[in-house]
Chain A
Amino acid sequence: MLAASVPVRVQIPAIGVDSELMDLGLQADGTMEVPAGGFPAGWYTGAPTPGERGPAVLAGHVDWGGAPGVFAELRDVVPGDEITVSRADGSTAVFAVQEVGQYDKDDFPTAAVYGDIDHAGLRVITCGGVFDELAGSYLDNTVVFADLVPPA
């Protein structure tokens, strides 16, 4: 595990993701803030920084404004793929994907995403499933669960 340091960049080579990271807090209703556009991705500042013990959380749009968003292909990630997070102190945290899931937003896995863990983990979240035109939102969230790879 690493010391705390603000993440500045995320790369997921398997799906061609290479993005800066903006801060995401909470909206007034308690839900997570989301980026203002399709890019860049963001990190939830209320969770540990990627590399610390605990669940770090990244989120980004699957689509926006008629074009693919930063996490357009997140659902194509498979276990074993690497996610590299570069941090402000110059260090790098490399995570290996353990699980990729698609979850009904009405049954969002809050415990699995935000609950305590005994190691450094990462959750990457975007929207998935079918877009509900009436509701104006996707029905599901795609969540990638990854664990920190200890440096060799």
Chain B
Amino acid sequence: MLKKRWNHKKIFEWGIEGLIKLSGIVSIILVGLIFIFLLKEGISVFKIVNPINFILGKEWHPVSKPPDFGILSLILGSFAVTLGAAIIALPLGVTSAIFIAEVTTGKTKEMLKIGIEFLAAIPSVVIGFVGIVVLAPVIQKVFDLPTGLTVLTGSIMLSIMAMPTIVSISEDAITAVPKRYREAALALGATRWQTIWRVVLPSASGGIVAACMLGIGRVIGETMAVMMVTGNAPRIPHSLLEPARTLTSTIAAEMGETVQGSEHYFALFAIGIVLFIITFVINFTADLFLHKEKV
């Protein structure tokens, strides 16, 4: 009896379900693999420089003798560009999301959503290209600078890239607020804006915070556009109108020139570890905010 049940079909089904379960955990395996490979290639740099000097060292001269592997200027470069982009993108993104979710309807709403989707689809290298040929000359002229490739240029272009993430996730969070909340407020005589401000936004706040964090995460991790438009000078920027260099663009710009297995090569992977940890923490926290809302 038992033997008969194990026919081809059963075996096939058992195999398929095994495959499905394996695919289910592939994402976990991949995240683990990414971390392991970054660690495997990057950890060797800490034989030359201790982690604290690596993070807090001001000098990045990877090919001089002896080399300096301090990434503080790169961290501050990333920080400056991200801060600038956040100042532009967060208010604009959240207000746009409120407008799209609560104020507009019908065709306008559809068009705006398609616009956001298109914006999300534009490759970062195209954004970088437009930054070089259109925005940088304007910045250079307006502020009378030796170069238009500055932190400000990077911040503006990156704010454009962060916008879709902020808008679409905030909009989802706002739309997810149950309709009866709004109806109750409106029935009590509140105006639409009062309803949005006092009722809808407070209940969507977790999702909106998550959206802002994910937008910032996107800016920190962004590579091509930022490498093309921020001027790539590896020193601590003192104003928005100076060139700077970020963690991501350092890896992208220098990996091509390094010898595999050299100290420089290890150091670039170590920067990768730092980036991975930063984005991991941001995504993890954002997920907590999103999750909290559902409960």
Do chains A and B interact in one complex? no
